Structure 1
Amino acid sequence: MTTEAPNATLPRFSHNRVHDFVRGILIGNNVPEDSAETVARCLVAADLRGIDTHGVNRIPSYMERVRQGVLDPRAIPELTAATPVVAQVDGKNSFGFLGATMAIHHAVEVAKTYGIGMVSVKHSNHFGMSAWICQRAIESDMMSLVFTNSSPALPVFGGKEKLMGVSPIACGAPAGSTKPFILDMAPSVAARGKIYKAKRRDEKIPLDWALDKDGRPTDDPSAALEGVMLPMGGPKGSALSIMMDVFSGVLSGSAFAGWVTNPYDPSRPANVGHFIVAIKPDLFMSLEEFKSRMDYLYQKVVGSEKAAGVERIYYPGEIEVDREEERRINGIPYTLGEVEALNVEADKVGAARLEPDM
């Protein structure tokens, strides 16, 4: 197994301690206990997988939105069935994790009977990494498709203004004795959260990630955030970002075409839309045969002949599985600046501060 070597320069925290810390901040900001549990679990899941851009470091921006009254901490999403296999969740401007949790749970339950379940979510907010939703489906032996739209960050191919979001496309499928398949990727060269992370840590970014406001390549994350992200594959990445807006924004009745609010902008509700599908994998064969075929696919992929200089071929989602195993043992690393920003939020509501315990 490839593991993440513990970085001696960064303090480490057990995932259980981080979970309780985040939960305390949320409850201190009038989030009901059940909702706080869901949000904390999803954020810590991102940090365990190494998706630090979508983990607990989002708490300060989430809490600022709560304080400004543009995210309702006490709202409970509401589900309405449209057909036996299709439903819509009204997020009611709650945390995106809550509407998405309701959506994948309903989609899975419907798929158990009908083979497929589809749920559109409107009036939602940022729901962190998409992979956690795929993981929920896999735990029920279900395949999944997870779409969301997001605030403008990309130009369409041939354009120069921010219009489309770096909205991730995700899908997952269970396996037998090997790693499950989980794809979670943005249509940009890099997720915008990685630029926020670089800015937070005072780091440079690669020159092919973004352009500054004058259209020039930049390694400065602040300049990149004032400019535009670059789509992967040119027109292909641009088209994928439009597809996310069609299924998540247009179809749901949420904001689209550049009108989703940035999660770091506390001026107005985000009005994000999601589209979540669960598929029963044993529709055409037994579940055991399906998983066996997935295991065979995994072995063929990771056992492929390697190109020069390549030590190991990874299956989609495998690096994150390995990293989670390591972080469950050695703890989650955060910079001192990140810890201090999180503790500022704890101090505001009198919650317990985050201290290293590993």
Structure 2
Amino acid sequence: MTAASNTIQIRHQDAHAFVVSLLQASGVPQKNSEIVARGLVQADLRGVESHGINRIPSYLARIRSGVLDPKAEPTVTKVTPVVAQVDGHNGFGFPAAHLGMATAIEMAQTFGIGMVSVKHSNHFGMSAWIVQQAIDAGMMSLVFTNSSPALPVWGGKSQLMGVSPIACGAPGGENSIPFILDMAPSVAARGKIHKALRRGEKIPKDWALDSEGRPADDPAEALKGVMLPMGGPKGSALAIMMDVFSGVLSGSAFAGGVTGPYDTTKPGDVGHFFMAIKPDLFMSLEDFRSRMDVLYQKVVESDKMDGVDRIYFPGEIEQLSEKKRRSEGIPFVEAEIDALNKEADKLKVAKIRVHG
């Protein structure tokens, strides 16, 4: 632990191995354990700790309560040559999402585009890891999901819509990085409030309202109330859009019916929507990548407003974080390590290794 930052460094390889051991001890097959671990650790590497391995205790609690099937294997059904549906069978959302995007990519490689709807799934962590899966295959992508009610519709005051992330991506060129957008339709992701609660931190008062409708800086009180949509009615409409594409279309829960990853009373029934698109449908791949280079340079070299030292491309800050954390380790606070090790004790597996 370092005195200055009061954090403990964990190597990403050790975090991955630890998560796999917990999941396998909980009945999750090896292949699926690896997929879940990769998605969670990638979030921590990218600095999105709200969706990293600290999610594991809540996932394991859902397994123990019988509302998430650790052994479930997702299945895929082709609908047309470019459309398919994955049934998650109430297993982890990560394998269902991985299969969904892999299927979309396979169809896009032949037909230029692939679309997959996923039903009866669960939380799949950070959307950016699925976008990255498509980028690694040279594909553009759309990644949608719905989630448990946390956000009021514009003009309302009760939880109805989920803080459901909107994500998409495209490969970069020789002199640029991939475009990766992953954002919530709320002012902040709800996972950031859970992170603040774990760490004993306050939150900004423009993130959420408490149960009485007052701005909340106490994360415990914020979790009793509602998240605030970004841009007022615009954020509310985006949240509804996620429900249309992910819930209504798939046949999964919608309109406030999704169960959250911290709820141990019933299955999640989360829906997702994925699309993979070949970037060279309208021009050569070389031309596409060259145009992405131009876009990147135009964005990052834009004239800066007062007080701004650097302009970043969407996803660039997270990619820089990943590079740093791969070499230096992922920072955790002691309370987070203790919570993870309690799960290790319950399952009689080795505790997480601390860097240095």
Q: TM-score range by the shorter chain?
A: over 0.9
Q: Which amino acid aligns with 1:53?
A: S
Deviation at 1:262, TM superposition (A): 1.4
Name the counterpart of 1:171.
168
Q: Map 1:135-174; keep pairs closer than 5 Å.
A: 135-174=132-171
Which residue number in structure 2 is paired with residue 74 of structure 1? 71
Determine if the alignment matches structure 1 residue 197 to structure 2 residue 201. no
Q: Of residues 101, 105, 114 in structure 2, which corresponds to 1:104?
A: 101
**In the aligned structure 2, how far is the partner of 1:295 from the partner of 1:23?**
38
- 2:222, 2:6 → 1: CA distance? 27
Number of the residue aligned with 2:121: 124
> Per the alignment, in what secondary structure is the counterpart of residue 18 of structure 1?
helix
Q: Give, in whole Å, the separation in 1 of the partners of 2:159 and 2:320.
A: 35
In the other structure, the counterpart of 1:59 is: 56
Q: Give ranges in structure 2 of 5+ residues lacking alignment.
A: none
Q: CA deviation at 1:6?
A: 11
1:239 to 219, 234, 237: 237
Q: Which amino acid aligns with 2:72?
A: A
What amino acid is the match of 1:148?
Answer: T
- In structure 2, the residue matched to 1:357 is 355
Shift of 1:200: 0.6
Letter of the structure 2 residue corresponding to residue 242 of structure 1: I
Letter aligned with residue 19 of structure 2:
V
Query: Aligned-pair distance for 1:9?
Result: 1.9
Contact 1:119 1:275 survives alignment (8 Å): yes
Counterparts of 1:34 and 1:207, CA distance in 2: 42
Label 1:7 to 1:136 Cα distance change in 2 as closer, same or farther (>3 A).
farther
* 2:246 paired residue number: 248
The sequence identity of aligned pairs, in percent, is 66
Distance in 2, matches of 1:7 and 1:53, equals 22
User: Quick check: 1:325 aligned with 2:323?
Assistant: yes
Which residue of structure 2 aligns with residue 88 of structure 1?
85
Q: Which runs of 5+ in 1 are unaligned?
A: none
Distance 1:314 1:110 in 2: 33
- Aligned mate of 1:18, from 15, 22, 25: 15
Determine if the alignment matches structure 1 residue 284 to structure 2 residue 282: yes
Query: What is the distance in 1 between the residues matched to 2:283 and 2:346?
Result: 55
C-alpha distance in 2 between matches for 1:7 and 1:99: 41
1:271 and 2:269 matched: yes
What amino acid sits opposite 2:117 in the alignment? S
After TM superposition, the score normalised by the length of structure 2 is: 0.98
Separation in structure 1 between the aligned mates of residue 4 and residue 117 of structure 2, nearest angstrom: 41
RMSD of equivalent CA atoms: 1.1
Partner of 1:306: 304
Give how far 1:357 is off.
1.8
Q: Quick one: distance in 2 between partners of 1:333 and 1:115?
A: 41
What are the Cα deviations for residues 125-181 of structure 1, in whole angstroms up to 9, with x where unaligned? 000000000000000110000000000000000000100000000000001121100
Q: 2:292 aligns with which of 291, 294, 297?
A: 294
* Residues 239 and 6 of structure 1: CA distance in aligned 2, closer, same or farther (over 3 Å): farther
* 2:120 aligned counterpart, secondary structure: strand
Distance 2:226 2:5 in 1: 35
Contact persistence 1:6–1:330 (CA under 8 A): no
Q: Extract structure 1 runs of 4+ deviating beyond 4 A.
A: 5-8
Structure 2 distance, partners of 1:192, 1:110, is 34
Counterpart-to-counterpart distance in 1, 2:262 and 2:306: 42
Q: Distance in 1 between matches of 2:46 and 2:293?
A: 22
The secondary structure found in structure 2 opposite 1:226 is: coil
Distance in 2 between the 1:134 and 1:159 partners? 32
Residue identity opposite 1:241 in structure 2: A
The residue type paired with residue 351 of structure 1 is V
> How big is the shift at 1:289?
0.9
8 Å contact from structure 1 (residues 149, 248) kept in 2: yes
Q: Report the count of equivalent residues.
A: 354
Q: CA deviation at 1:355?
A: 2.7
| 1:36 aligned partner | 33
CA gap of 1:6–1:241, structure 2 versus 1, over 3 A, is farther
What is the Cα deviation at residue 351 of structure 1? 1.0
**CA–CA distance in 2 between the matches of 1:8 and 1:14?**
17
Distance 2:148 2:242 in 1: 12
- 1:227 pairs, out of 225, 228, 233, with 225
Instruction: Give the Cα separation in 2 of the matches to 1:287 and 1:96.
Output: 32
State the match for 1:50 in structure 2: 47
CA distance in 1, matches of 2:264, 2:294: 48
Letter aligned with residue 237 of structure 2: A
Q: Deviations over 1:178-203 (max 9, x none)?
A: 11000000000000000000001010
Residue 8 of structure 1 and its aligned partner are, at CA, apart by 4.2
Distance in 1 (CA, whole Å) between partners of 2:161 and 2:220 is: 19
Provide the C-alpha distance between the structure 2 equivalents of 1:319 and 1:276, rounded to a whole number of angstroms: 24
